[in-house]
Amino acid sequence: MYFSLIRLRRDVSPNDLIALTNGDAYQMHKVIWNLFGDNPDRKRDFLYRYEPVKGWPTFYTVSSREPNDPGGLWDILSKQYTPKISGGERFAFTLRVNPIRNKRDENDRHHRHDVVMDAKTHLRFKELPEDQRPRIAALVQEAGTAWLKSRESEFGFLIEEDKEKPKVRADCYVQHKLFKDKGPKPITFSTLDLNGFLTVVNPERFIEKSLFQGIGPAKGFGCGLMMIRPIRHREQH
């Protein structure tokens, strides 16, 4: 596997990039896919996260192949990604997810529910008087943390909790609507940023599933890539 830092070249302005994509969010999504699209039938074999770093367009990727930029727009720094992790190790993490829950209806059909919207539905949020409605930030925190905790066993980690001082922060909840070329229906999904501390309990599963395969759906739209760093001693308190 490879970890890559991909930054817009300094001689290419962000405005030039917007001109190339017509300022369209779906076209921007296609920019990163083009760096891995060596043939028309290639399936996605990478995870990515987009971040403007000091206002400069930047992607982080984990992939089975090194990215390639035939258009010459990007500076690409790639290195082999072979993490060595033991059980019990602790890490700070950052993760952008599409937080959904699968449910079946009375006809046994699968439906995907955004966990934040689902929480509002259960509370009958719109029916509550305004002074009785919980803060959206509190709903996002509770629903996002619960969503991640429900995946601990599958992905080989335990997130750390402290009732006095929460060690996982869930915020930056955004609902997206992307238009695919001239398709009649938009692509809609939500994203949520999770940051905090975790302990690895199953190293093999953690590396393969959390770090290499990614967590949750919408990976093709920049979700699922978990980035970690070891916790220094002074961060433990």
Q: For residues 9 and 76, is the Cβ–Cβ distance under 8 A?
A: no
The pTM of the full predicted model, rounded to 2 decimals, is: 0.87
- The CATH topology of domain 2-80 is Alpha-Beta Plaits (3.30.70)
Per-residue pLDDT for the chain (237 aa), expressed as one digit of tens each? 999 999 989 888 877 777 666 656 677 788 888 899 877 778 889 999 998 888 788 999 999 999 999 888 899 999 999 999 999 999 999 999 999 987 666 666 666 788 888 878 777 777 677 777 788 888 999 999 999 999 999 999 999 877 667 689 999 999 988 877 666 788 889 999 999 999 999 999 999 999 999 999 999 999 999 999 998 765 554
Buried b (16+ CB within 10 A) or exposed e, 158-173: ebeeeeeeeebebeeb
Mention the CATH class of domain 90-236.
alpha beta
Strands 110-114 and 2-8: unpaired
Buried b (16+ CB within 10 A) or exposed e, 77-95: ebeebeeebeeebbbbbbb
Same CATH fold assignment for domains 2-80 and 90-236: yes
Cα 225 to the center of its chain, rounded Å:
5
HEC letters along the chain: CEEEEEEECCCCCHHHHHHHHCCCHHHHHHHHHHCCCCCCCCCCCEEEEEEEECCEEEEEEEECCCCCCCCCCEEEEEEECCCCCCCCCEEEEEEEECCEEEEECCCCCEEEEEHHHHHHHHHCHHHCCHHHCCCHHHHHHHHHHHHHHCCHHHHCEEECCCCCCCCEEEEEEEEEEECCCCCCCCEEEEEEEEEEEEEECCHHHHHHHHHHHCCCCCHHHCCCCEEEEECCHHHHC
User: How do the domains of the chain map onto residue ranges?
Assistant: 2-80, 90-236
How far, in Å, CA of 86 to CA of 218, rounded? Answer: 29
Token output for 212: 């290499």
Other Cβ atoms within 10 Å of 174 Cβ, number: 10
